[in-house]
Structure 1
């Protein structure tokens, strides 16, 4: 898989010269659309949503990873590089999630004036990856990324810091519309605080604290709201668990009378179903909010509706 990632990056970088010719010498003027809106490129869904909410009428936001695609196994194409060369802001998560970022930004060329925004900067990151075997370092992330849990956005407490980083970048890039960015940021932060309060109230009072998940994506949610995740897979959903790991988790589920095993829509539910069948329990969805399915997109779902649904399913599993 890593060979494939590098091959696709090589193609993108090889086309960067063509892209620079197409984009011309517009410089700063190319970073705004015809209506004067700041052009923003985001790496995946949560950052797209936060950027849209804060940018409002003053920004034109493009998301790189389409609906229904799992971000751990995605790499940019030449059209994505073209979008980057025309943008004023590039918002990415960091913390090892997007192993392709440095090559991607290099492909934009030294003449690019894009402002890079590492949204997770300032978040108290969860270090280490005890659930994943060393041999899985070639799956999903560049080497090193697996040493930190990158799934910061799943907790609204981390999301508030990420929103602050995005807002600050907007103000820097477009100070003339700072009041609008500040106002919309305040509204988004208020909604995140409300969500935080709902999670605190909704997840307290349960004697059960353990949840079994298919993908180790809920560390920040568990840390902030007093839960403990037992993951079938590690930080990358592309990794394969060892048979011994599955046996141990099945034993844990039976011994502790865990009623549900959680899976997510954007990756195969095969392992969760296999383990649930072995342990004699049911499955439920716990969404890491890495992206919307096409159906969720059509239904108008967003970060908050997915979070509310997660809360409902967590309460069902803990009760």
Structure 2
């Protein structure tokens, strides 16, 4: 199934910067190394990752045998990334490219025009699903006049927030690295197995930690946690759907207030890379708390943890507190 570009449905075309960078590829090809070359001067497999969740997999599986470069800088909103000519050149020198098609339009364009032999689209390594503005349709049940004039449901790219789906992606990445660098295949298999074990423990922690809670409903600024909610029997209500920068309608805010009261919601979650203004407005009007639920699109000094596993553990603790988990 192809992945629709719905992660940020902005009414704009891909910027001139992205198009120019992609066009520069024709020039880059003249001086780039052959597609069979890893592109690394130290003999390591040169991996280009589109953003943090892809870079984390490459680092964990590749270990000392890879050089990993992320196209998205720490603190940068990945959906807004525009590829520079220098980055385009870097992509072309890669031994392996890891990306998630549909999440970053400028990356998709550059990768499509690249001659690199080993390209891995994470969206093809697990089953993608559709999540709209109101995950589970729960909020609408409280108000028959709820505003549905939001963006339509589409392929949700946030697969890394479900440990099980992320593990499926990790398996595929491991196999791709074995193919790209067969000389270290045994190491990649060993590291993949170790990572799958860690993700399995994370899945168990979430399943056990969220199985007995006072409420199953939580509110977020945008619908990034649909996969996680489905995996652990929760209901996510997003203020602004798949686009965190869109403004909710008065009808939607009214509906959320009614839902919060009916279901005993205590907290409105916001994320580290987007303004918390809307979350605080909704929470203040309903007398609710606010807290961080990190979609893990990047690690910064504000992140509650140094890597994927630590931040996911912090997210679990935040959900347990908000949902009233019973020990």
SS at match of 1:230: strand
Structure 1 residues 182-191 or 255-264, which shifts more? 255-264
Q: Note if contact 1:93-1:118 (Cα within 8 Å) is conserved in structure 2.
A: yes
The question of 1:105 aligning with 2:105 is answered no
Correspondence 1:119-138 to 2 at 5 A: 119-131=122-134, 136=151
Q: Is the 8 A contact 1:85 1:114 kept in 2?
A: no
Residue in structure 1 matched with residue 4 of structure 2 by the alignment: none
Aligned to 2:291: 284
The question of 1:221 aligning with 2:264 is answered no
Map 1:1-319 to 2 at 5 A.
3=12, 5-23=14-32, 26-28=33-35, 30-94=37-101, 96-108=102-114, 112-131=115-134, 136=151, 147-296=154-303, 301-319=306-324
For the structure 1 residues 214 and 135, does the alpha-carbon distance in structure 2 shift closer, same or farther, using more than 3 Å as the test? closer
Say if 1:51 and 1:134 are closer, same or farther in 2 by CA, change over 3 A: farther
Q: Report the more deviating stretch, 99-108 or 146-155.
A: 99-108
Q: Distance in 1 between matches of 2:243 and 2:80?
A: 9
Q: Distance in 2 between matches of 1:122 and 1:27?
A: 26
Instruction: Flag the structure with higher helix content.
Output: 1
Cα separation, 2, equivalents of 1:52 and 1:12: 26
The ranges of structure 1 where at least 4 consecutive aligned residues each deviate by more than 4 angstroms after the TM superposition are 1-4, 132-137
Cα distance 1:194–1:129, how it changes in 2: closer, same or farther (>3 A)? Answer: same
Tell me by how many angstroms 1:295 deviates.
4.4
What secondary structure is seen at the aligned counterpart in 1 of 2:124?
A: coil
TM-score, normalised to structure 1, is: 0.89
* Residue range with higher mean Cα deviation, 77-86 or 12-21: 12-21
Question: 1:17-55 CA distances to partner (integer Å, 9 max, x unpaired)?
Answer: 3323443xx304642412211111111101101110001
State the TM-score, normalizing by the size of structure 2. 0.86
Cα distance in structure 2, aligned partners of 1:175 and 1:15: 31
What is the CA–CA distance in structure 2 between the aligned matches of 1:275 and 1:77, rounded to whole Å? 38
Say whether the 8 Å CA contact 1:87–1:114 is kept in structure 2.
no
Of residues 210-219 and 75-84 in structure 1, the stretch that sits farther from structure 2 once superposed is 75-84
Deviations 1:92-142 (A, max 9, x none): 123x2223344212443xxx23311011324232224244967758xxxxx
Give yes or no for contact 1:8–1:77 (8 Å, CA) kept in 2: yes
Offset from partner CA, 1:166-204 (integer Å, 9 cap, x none): 101101111111100000101110000111111111111
Q: CA separation in 1, counterparts of 2:21 and 2:151?
A: 26
Q: Say which SS state the counterpart of residue 262 (structure 1) adopts.
A: strand
**Superposed CA RMSD:** 2.1
Q: Is the 8 A contact 1:126 1:219 kept in 2?
A: no
Distance 1:32 1:22, change over 3 A: closer
Gaps of 5+ in 2: 1-9, 136-147
Partner of 1:141: none
